[in-house]
Every structure is written in C-alpha cells, then in structure tokens.
Amino acid sequence: MFLAEVIGQVVSTKKDDSMHGKKLLIVRPKLVDEKDPTTFRNGANTIITVDTVGAGEGDLVMFCQGSSARQAKGMKPLPVDAAIIAIVDSVDVLGKKIFKSS
C-alpha cells in the first residue's frame, strides 16, 4: 500500500464496459522525506486509480497496485492496476504527526 494525494480526475466516455460508473482519479505518491522524516515529499510520477471509497481532490489516500488492487470490493473482474482503498485521517512518523485531515 502507498500514500498519495488526489490531484485530479480523468473522464472517459468511451471505455471498457466493465469500467462504466467507476470514478478515475489521478494521484501523486507522497513519500516520507528521508532528509526530514517529519515531512512528506512528492513522488515523481502520477498514477490513475479507481476510487472505491469516495475520495476527492486534495484528499490524502492509501492505494494499492497490481493484483492487490483487484482485491478491493467490486474490483476483481475489472482491468485495473491501481485502486484507492482508504482516505487517510492522520499519519504519525517517529512519534510526530506529519498529517492530520482537516
């Protein structure tokens, strides 16, 4: 599982029939900064994910990739490689809170 911030969405009217009704969100991974483990740094890539929990732009989320993504409810038959599985409330690293949702 990975942490990421939702930074946008993808709208696609023509897609595989099994994907109709699925919300697609763009996420940017968040990594604990190795120089200062009390902060995050942005990952270099962006990933398109299928939302399973009602996330929105600006949310910090947990997502999984590969075969794990298809273990989320309703994802098994879908051609997905990444799924958002949680909206994060808080993150503590080395005894310090580095994220708390507002």
Q: What is the pLDDT of residue 74?
A: 81
pLDDT tens, position by position, 8-45: 999 998 989 989 999 999 999 999 999 999 999 999 99
Q: Is the pLDDT of residue 71 over 90?
A: no
**How many domains, the chain?**
1
Full residue range of the structural domain in which residue 93 is found: 2-100
Tokens standing for 82?
């990444």
Question: Helix, strand or coil for residue 68?
Answer: helix
Backbone dihedral region for residue 69 (phi beyond 0: left; psi -120 to 50: alpha; all else: beta)? alpha
